[in-house]
Amino acid sequence: MKRAVGVMMLAALPLAVSMAWADTKSHAAKPGDQYMAGAGAGAGKMEMYQSTDPKAPAMTKDEFDAGRQIYFDRCAGCHGVLRKGATGKALLPDAMQKLGTDTLKVFTAYGTPGGMPGFGTSNEMTEKEIDIMARYIQHPAPTPPEWGLKEMKASWKLLVPVDKRPKKKMNNINLENLFSVTLRDTGELALIDGDSKKIITILKTGFAVHITRFSGSGRYLYTTGRDGLINLIDLWMATPETVAIIRTGSDARSIDTSKFKGYDDKIAIAGSYWPPAYVLMDGFTLEPKKVVSTRGYTYDEQEYHPEPRVASIVSSHIKPEFVVNVKETGKILLVDYSDLKNLKTTEIEAERFLHDGGWDASKRYFLVAANMRDTVSVVDTKEGKLAANVKVGVKPHPGRGANWTDVKYGPVWATGHLGDETVAVIGTDPAKNKQHAWKVVRSLKNHGNGSLFIKTHPKSTNLWVDAALSPDDEVQQSVSVFDLKNLDKPAQVINLAKLAGISKARVTHPEYNKAGDEVWFSVWGPKTGESAIVVMDDKTRKLKAVIKDKRLITPTGKFNLYNTIKDVY
């Protein structure tokens, strides 16, 4: 494989808290620019324990520090900070030493059939870096420092107080059709006008922003970088700007805001990989209010786990609750945010290695992939209990998944898979289609394995599926398009990289515009190469536009404001 996405992909750890934004001498163009972390900040500069294991291959201190930086940037997202494994296999020293340096160099350079990218074939690691990594993972993993409320408050910067912000919208941007686009390797975010296809602004953020969420009112945008840095961006400003930042940990993936009526914009929540915890904050300022650890015991074997990471968070539309998915323990937490002082949490035993997921069309049931158990867990958030565990294909990876009303089985939700070429279609209507509910009613054939994202829209009759982690160039550059009215018909396969005129790239993350008549894809090239956004006409399946700009470096996730707020997918 050629580029890292869900398998070896993680942000750098920060510097000591007070040092993370110490350089205030730079001439920032916007408030807060001097505080932004940017790509690669942190881990390589933090002192941590270096192993002296005599069985591990020799490393100089500089090599060990370089190995730590590479691992945190590219590997820990799936293998874990402590290397105990989840989406990726455990990388424990004894097992790695048995494989040996030469074998590990081959795996790192060329990838594996199970979904690990090849960092050599993609030119993301040099031969020297591959050699360092092969030796580094044979040493015991250094443990990063903890990160509590004190450290969070020290990192918190309220750049523009609430009373200094605009009282009304100061621009003519059609916010409901705004796209937020992650520029992974530069630690930036592009805001693109969905109507004109023009870049409005580029904002500095944390490294490799994993997700963008918008407040219930649509005024504020929240990002979380893989380095734990959160940006709060005010979209009402003449040019949208960051108005507050905080670092909630040294490694993070998830963020959301309160959506239940009466709580719009009021509360934000962020989940961390390290330290394993979630944080509740003031939604207008990012001031941290409460930190809750997720360390504990696995639901099945009841064994203590030191690193149960918060993989994904969604906000309920029917209750004042956040749905918090804890990867390693297999627990789904329904966190009632109506009273932060007396926090009430419902703990649901689901399945281990929870990752990402989305709502069914009714917004009552949340479906989340437990990808290392080849399972989708379904939670009934109205009743506050597990509805089902559904066996699917190998390593489901839905993103948010896709909802439609199947011509035969009624309302369904679907996921693609990292480990095989199938798309699993699950019935989601226990009221009117009980015989099909929580069962795989269809298995569609994607054009390859390595699917990261799948998407449709209520106004569309198409289902778009990528295969960005396939080891095959043609496959990773293409997408499958299924006709939802005739799913017995094979998918049309379209090479979007060729349409963009780019030879070295992965195509990933379909996202609809508000109207549901366009689908946007990231053509994700290497950091030193060319990238683009391809816009397809959903009805004709023909190319509508190619957005190219030298500032569009490694674009990955894209989030339409209206569809994100309303959970349309």
Active site residues: 75, 78-79, 116, 355, 397
* C-beta neighbour count of 567 within 10 angstroms: 17
- Integer Cα distance of 475 and 339 in angstroms: 49
* Six token digits for residue 145: 């420092």
- Token pair, residue 56, equals 């591990």
Dist CA 191 CA 178 (whole Å): 7
**Under 8 Å between Cβ of 49 and 115:** no
Q: Residue 560: in which H helix or E strand, if any?
A: strand 555-560
| 361: number of Cβ within 10 Å | 18
The rounded Cα 143 to chain-centroid distance in angstroms is 23
Terminal CA-CA length for the chain = 28
Question: Could you tell me the CA-to-CA distances from 472 to 5, 109, 240, 468 in Å, in that order?
Answer: 15, 15, 39, 9
- 3-state secondary structure (DSSP) of residue 134: helix
Q: What DSSP string describes 429-465?
A: -TTT-GGGBTSEEEEEE-SSS----EE--TT-SEEEE
323, with CB counted inside 10 A (0-12, 13-18, 19+), is buried
Are 93 and 87 a contacting pair, CB within 8 Å? no
Which stretches within 21-85 are classed as H helix? 61-74, 76-79
What's the rounded Cα separation, in Å, for the pair 294 and 324?
10
Taking the C-alpha atoms of residue 268 and residue 464, their distance in angstroms, rounded to an integer, is 31
Q: How far is CA 40 from the centre of its chain?
A: 18
Q: For residue 128, give the 3-state DSSP assignment.
A: helix
Provide the 10 A C-beta neighbour count for residue 282: 17
Residue 48 to residue 511: CA distance in whole angstroms: 40
232: DSSP letter: E
Cα 360 to Cα 321: distance, rounded to the nearest angstrom: 17
**Is residue 541 left, alpha or beta, with left meaning phi > 0 and alpha meaning psi from -120 to 50?**
left
Element (H, E) at 106: helix 93-110
Q: Classify residue 49 by its DSSP letter.
A: P
Tokens of 163: 């009373």
Distance CA 141, CA 80 (A): 10
Other C-beta atoms closer than 10 Å to the C-beta of 381 total 23
3-state helix, strand, coil in the chain (%, to 5): 15, 35, 50
Query: Considering only CA atoms, which of 106, 100, 90, 87 is closest in space to residue 138?
Result: 100
